[in-house]
Structure 1
Amino acid sequence: MPVDVEGRFLIVRAQHWTCALPLSEVAETMRPLPIAPVAGLPPFVRGVSVIRGEPTPVLSLAALLGGTSSHTAGRFVLLRVPERRAALEVEEILGLRALGAAELGAVPPLLQGAAGGQLEVLGTLDGKLLGALSTARLLPEALWASLARRGAAA
């Protein structure tokens, strides 16, 4: 999403990171489902979960950003990825917010915070998922606190 366009975002928390996912990339949110681990995958890929009858990869947003996978996800965020879906495991969904061009221009892209090497691994595994995540943003705590105080509901 270009930074000169206002957008609607789903705000989520993954450990100490507050992240803004473009609503256009989100299919739905849900309670976490059982995850079957798969050997040989990078640490940010938790495994596969059957969602709506389809095997779906589950990625730990916290582990992707350099934290640890909690193994006690609060929610799944099902992302729209061309030709399939992927689930992001997050601790908490904080709500929907509209972010303007000035706010978007002042916050870093989500993947700028990706742990060393994780971005390259994700790109190698799934370029389309990398594309979907590239429009997400990291929200500094001060900006999130300001948005929460304003009650800037979408």
Structure 2
Amino acid sequence: MPRQGSRCFLVVRAQEWMCALPLEEVEETMRPLPVTPVSAAPDFVRGVCLVRGAPAPVVSLARLLGGAAAQGSAGHRFVSLRVPEGRLALEVEEVHGLRWLEEETVDSVPALLRATASGHLQHLGSFDGRLLAMLAASRLLPEELWGRLRAASGEGGA
């Protein structure tokens, strides 16, 4: 149950990274849609798809975080994010649902961009400042914290 001083995040997995996306930026999650490649796009941009009839760039979170090491990976879910131009589809392997995190916990875990994707900042800046802000507000969840969140929600297993 949420308490004052906590924020809600959508927890997703991109290869070995567990990531917490700010819920206020998320529109919906969905099965992957057909993607049309775009020439001269950065490595982490898989192409464009149609989300509810509107074109949306598809960004692979695994490629964004892992670069060339994630080249062969294809996600099993899309997360539609709000951006001023419309939508952006973030490709992830799994969606683990919503989790409430205390502000001090959020402040204690690494910011997604600072921890992993700093090499892509110039390409990300060409998309939109809001995408950069959303990714900067997203967090990587260390294994120990993810284990506590799963236990608190009643999920079992590893």
Same fold (TM over 0.5): yes
Q: Distance between the aligned counterparts of 2:120 and 2:58, measured in 1? A: 15
Show the counterpart of 2:106. Answer: 104
Q: Distance between the aligned counterparts of 1:22 and 1:115, measured in 2? A: 17
Q: CA RMSD in A?
A: 1.8
Task: Write out per-residue CA displacement over residues 45-91 of structure 1, whole angstroms, 9 at most, x where no aligned residue.
Answer: 00000111111000000111124144531100000112411010000
Gaps of 5+ in 1: none
Paired residues of 1:98 and 1:152 also in contact (CA < 8 A): no
* 2:134 maps to amino acid: A
Tell me the CA shift for residue 137 of structure 1.
0.7
Show the counterpart of 2:119. Answer: 117
**Bigger share in helix:** 2
**TM-score (norm: length of structure 1):** 0.90
Show the counterpart of 2:152. Answer: 150
Tell me, yes or no, if structure 1 residue 73 matches structure 2 residue 75.
yes
Matches within 5 A, 1:3-152: 5-67=5-67, 68-151=70-153
Q: Distance between the aligned counterparts of 1:10 and 1:70, measured in 2? A: 25
Q: Distance between the aligned counterparts of 1:69 and 1:29, measured in 2? A: 22
Q: Distance between the aligned counterparts of 2:113 and 2:16, measured in 1? A: 15
The 3 A distance-change label for structure 1 pair 71 and 37 is farther
Query: Secondary structure of 2:39's partner?
Result: coil
Paired residues of 1:12 and 1:93 also in contact (CA < 8 A): yes
Moved more, 22-31 or 69-78: 69-78
Q: Distance between the aligned counterparts of 2:65 and 2:54, measured in 1? A: 26
Query: Secondary structure of 1:48's partner?
Result: strand
* 2:57 maps to amino acid: P
After TM superposition, which residue ranges in structure 1, 4 or more long, deviate above 3 angstroms? none
The 3 A distance-change label for structure 1 pair 39 and 19 is same
Tell me the CA shift for residue 149 of structure 1.
1.0
Paired residues of 2:62 and 2:73 also in contact (CA < 8 A): no
Paired residues of 2:81 and 2:88 also in contact (CA < 8 A): yes
Percent identity of paired positions between Structure 1 and Structure 2: 55
Tell me the CA shift for residue 11 of structure 1.
0.2
**TM-score (norm: length of structure 2):** 0.87
Moved more, 118-127 or 52-61: 118-127
Paired residues of 2:114 and 2:136 also in contact (CA < 8 A): no
